[in-house]
Amino acid sequence: MTKSIKVINLSKKFNIGFKKDQGALARVVSFISGRETKKELKVFSGISFDVSAGQVLGVIGRNGSGKTTLLRIIAGIYEPDGGKIITAGKVDYLSGFAGGLSPKLTMEENIYLIGSVLGLSHKDVNMKINEIVEFSGLKKFLYTKVYQFSSGMVARLAFSSTIFCLDYTKPDILLLDEVFGIGADIDFEDKAIKKIGELIKCGSTVVLASHNLKIIEDYCDKAFIIGNGKIVKEGQPASIVAFYKNMR
């Protein structure tokens, strides 16, 4: 398995204007009256790049530049309007850590739930659960239902469960979309960032989209800036980060 990504002449646009819950008749009335019309929003056009096996690519750009859309297309969540994506290996997409938890289940039950979602068997989770609980610092709450947790405790549980399960599965291709704002206290966030760094270095091919420019410099082999529907500049992370800072 080569664990590589190749993106060729990729384009994507969204139709905006109509509300999602607006019925067909309401849309016709809106169109006739001219009060609301559908518009095309071009996210990007003609983007091409590749990521070799084991490389870490950093993607930088302002909010709305298309970073998340790009990663979701690679993950197969969105369909492109044009171009081609070739991925060799299993793709895992991660965007934040709060999703996937069930408030009505206990902490222990949620750990098994997240493990199942990420493709682990009950036996697999058994092998990781002690590490997950210890890392989270929430051992005394193992049999407490999550709706009783504070937001910081939820963040700890979600992060610990997800990151250790991914560490166990060793994904071929890992897409990380703004995962460095953990939402827990500063001590846990520092520990969490180090753990993400370990995951990034485990041999997976990684595409990392982040506003944290230090992370881009520290962990990426190469980087590019996306803006106005194009790749603005690509190269070594340090030079790309310096260029981006001067753009703002």
Q: Is the pLDDT of residue 158 over 70?
A: yes
19 confidence band (pLDDT: 50, 70, 90): low
Question: How far is the C-alpha of 10 from the C-alpha of 81, rounded, in Å?
Answer: 8
Q: What is the pLDDT of residues 23-60, one digit of tens each?
A: 555 555 555 555 555 677 888 889 999 999 999 999 99
Q: What is the pLDDT of residues 214-230, one digit of tens each?
A: 989 999 999 999 998 89
Query: The tokens 């309007």 sit on which residue?
Result: 81
Q: How far apart are CA 34 and CA 36, in angstroms?
A: 5
Give Rg (Cα) of the chain: 20
Share of the chain above pLDDT 90, in %: 59
Dist CA 203 CA 180 (whole Å): 20
**Looking at per-residue confidence, does 27 or 137 come out higher?**
137
Q: Which of 102, 213, 221 is nearest to 161 (CA)?
A: 102
What is the mean pLDDT of the segment spanning 223-244?
95
Q: Which two tokens stand for residue 77?
A: 């969540």
Q: What's the CATH number of domain 5-90+208-247, 3.10.450.40, 2.130.10.10, 3.40.50.300, 3.40.50.720?
A: 3.40.50.300
Closest CA relative to residue 232, chosen from 38, 60, 37, 101: 60
What is the rounded average pLDDT of the residues 187-210?
A: 87
* Residue 223, helix vs strand vs coil: strand
Kindly report the number of other CB atoms within 10 A of residue 39's CB atom: 11
What's the mean pLDDT when you consider all of the chain?
Answer: 87
C-alpha 39/C-alpha 29 separation (Å) is 16
This prediction has a pTM of 0.82
Return the pLDDT at 227: 93
CB within 8 Å of 120: residues ≥ 6 apart: 128, 165, 168, 169
